[in-house]
A and B are shown apart, each in its own frame.
Chain A
Amino acid sequence: MRAKVEVFLKPGVLDVQGKAIEGALHGLGFDGVSGVRVGKTIAFEIGDADPAKAEADVKAMCDRLLANTVIEGYRVEIA
C-alpha cells in the first residue's frame, strides 16, 4: 500500500512563504488569487495489507515526526 501525507501550516499560523508567493502572483496579474498556503507532500510505501491499520500507523507517524502539530495540520491518504 502507498501512503500520501500532506502537511500544511494550521489556519491562523502566518505562512510567510505563501504570502510572498501570493504577492508574486498578483505581480503577474493574477489579481483574484488569495489565501495561498505552502505545504509539503510525503509519499511512501507501507508494508501493511490492512488499510485501517495502515492509516492508524501513518497518523501516528504524523503525530510523532512528519508534522509538528503545534503549527501544522496533516491529511493522510492510503491507496
Chain B
Amino acid sequence: MKSAVVVFPGSNCDRDCAVAIERSTGSHAAMIWHEETALPDGLDLIVLPGGFSYGDYLRCGAMAAQSPVMREVAAAAERGVAVVGICNGFQVLCEAGMLPGALLRNAGLKYVCKSVALEVTNAQTRFTAAYGDRREAVMTVGNGEGAYFADDDTLDRLEGEGRVVFRYRDNPNGSARGVAAILNDAGNVLGIMPHPDRAFEPELGSADGAILFQSVAASA
C-alpha cells in the first residue's frame, strides 16, 4: 500500500499517523506539506491528521480546507483514492465540502480526551471490512469541537445508506445520533472523530485502530 499523511501548520498527529500506518500495515507513509501542489503517484491512502491546523482560526479546519494541497486531495478522492480525515482532519473534510455536515463545540463545552467504545455500524466498507463480525472497537477521542451536526434529512440519508460507519456507545460530545464516523456517497472518503492512530498496539490500550488501516491496505 502506498500512503501519504498531509501536514498542515498546527497538525500534531501527523507523525502518530505515519507510525500507526507503518506498524499496522508495514508500509511507509510519505509526509506531504500542505503547500504541495502535487501528490506522489499511485497513492492508495491519504490521511488528514488530527491537531489544530492554523490554530483553529476562523473555524476548525476552515483555513486548512483552503490549502493548496487540498485541491489535489479532492482530485485524488474523485479518482477513488481512499481518504481518511481523523479528528481535525474530519473537520477539514467537512469544511472542504468533501463530507456533509459540520463539527460543533462539544455539548458540555469541555475538551474531551478519553477512551471510547464504538459500535462498528457498517463493516462492509473499505475502511472497516477487516473488523469482520466484530461489532465493537475501542479508540481514544481528543476533541473540543467534535459534536457532529447535520440536518435531519442528511442524517436520515447517511443512516439509510450505511454511511454512518462508527457510532459512540456512550456519546461523549453531543454528536447528532451518536455519529463518530461517516463516509462520503462514493464510499472512499471517511471522516472519523476518534483516533485510530492512537489505538494501534495493545500497549496503547487498544489495537482496534490498526484494523482500520489494515482494511484499507487489504483493499489497495
Contact = CB atoms under 8 A, between A and B. Distances in A.
A13 B95 CA distance: 17
B112 interface: no
Nearest to B95: A68
Interface residues of A, number: 10
Interface string A8-27: 00000110110010000000
A70 interface: yes
A44 B115 CA distance: 43
Contacts of B102: 68, 70-71
A65 interface: yes
Contacts of B94: 70
A66 B58 contact: yes
A65 B66 contact: yes
Interface centre among A16, A65, A66, A68 (most CB of B within 10 A): A68
A3 B200 CA distance: 49
Contacts of B54: none
B142 interface: no
B104 A14 contact: yes
B30 interface: no
A69 to B, nearest CB: 10
A70 B149 CA distance: 9
Contacts of A16: 104-109, 174
A50 B59 CA distance: 30
B105 A65 contact: no
Contacts of B100: 70
A76 to B, nearest CB: 16
B199 to A, nearest CB: 28
Nearest to B154: A70
A14 B149 CA distance: 10
Interface of B: 58-59, 62, 66, 94-95, 100-102, 104-109, 149-150, 174
Interface of A: 13-14, 16-17, 20, 65-66, 68, 70-71
Given A14-B104, A71-B149, 6 more contacts: A16-B105, A16-B107, A16-B174, A65-B58, A68-B102, A70-B94
25 contacts: A13-B104, A13-B149, A16-B104, A16-B105, A16-B106, A16-B109, A16-B174, A17-B105, A17-B109, A20-B109, A65-B62, A65-B66, A66-B58, A68-B59, A68-B62, A68-B95, A68-B102, A70-B94, A70-B100, A70-B101, A70-B102, A70-B149, A70-B150, A71-B102, A71-B149
